Amino acid sequence: MRILVTGGTGFVGSHLVKGLLEDDHHVIIIKRSFSNTDRISNYLDRIVSYDIDKTTIKSVFENESIDVVIHAATSYGSRESLSEQIESNVVFPMKLLESALEHKINAFINTDTFFNKPAHRNYKYLGSYSKTKRYFLELVPFFQNKEETKFINARLEHVYGPNDGPNKFTTHVITQMLNNIPSLDLTLGEQKRDFIFIDDVTSAYRLVIKNLHIFSDCYNEIEIGRGMSVSIRHFIESAHLLTNSKTKLKFGALPYRESEIMDSYANTLKLNELGWSWNDGIDDGIRKIINHLNT
């Protein structure tokens, strides 16, 4: 199939590009002309790339016979103004969906966050990020053509793995331990997360694409995680052991964030029905990050 990926230079998107190419799909990406392409440097000669600041979404759809869109681009708001974040998380995907519906593509797969689960919506951290992504989803019914294009919302739990941003929690903690910094200030670490390795995330997307025929012709939702949660303290202590670090872990030195999410895990029933299962446990995933950081 001909698959358009947004956010293809990012963490999740770059792994998706690799996986889709392995499945012999024709991959098209939308990026900015100044985007860092290091994560996909080995695949640039095998994909079609459009710079969205030099062309339009409409022209991309007119030039390419797209079958599926995977929307993985996002703005966390750390460097953008609120208006820029609304442009990235609401306006851009709306334009993308409008073109997708106009061209009657097979499916539009949106990448969502576990922050947007109803039980977690009071969480203040990255509030504008989760709210803008949620607002786009609330607008989907106003645009959707139920007879032609399937809409699948893929809600990700706590994704981690090699090539994630250096300031992301898992990468940051493991890097600090490898550097043997004297001490690391932490919360009590009692909050629990469904840590899902990036390769298992991409395998879920790939399986969904292979089984689009079983999804309904309206709104669909899947949750991607291992279906179980462990404490952040457990993850940190595992990383500390596997890095053989001398860093002192100061649990309780930091307070919890306001309205902290104390537990989250995926309902993997729909993925399991497709035959999906996760492969990398936490220790396996941590070892792969360590190996990547040490190369």
Q: Indicate which residues carry an active-site annotation.
A: 129
**Cβ burial 106-137 (10 Å sphere, 16+ → b, else e):** bbbbbbbbbbbbeebeebeeeeebbbbbbebb
CB 39 within 8 A of CB 65: no
Q: Look at residues 173, 156, 190 and name the one whose alpha carbon lies nearest to residue 11.
A: 156
Residue 108 parent element (H or E): strand 107-113
CA 46, chain centre distance (Å):
22
For the chain, the C-alpha Rg in angstroms (whole number) is 19
Spatial contact of 90 and 138, defined as CB atoms under 8 Å apart: no
Burial environment of residue 20 by CB neighbours within 10 A (0 to 12, 13 to 18, 19 or more) = buried
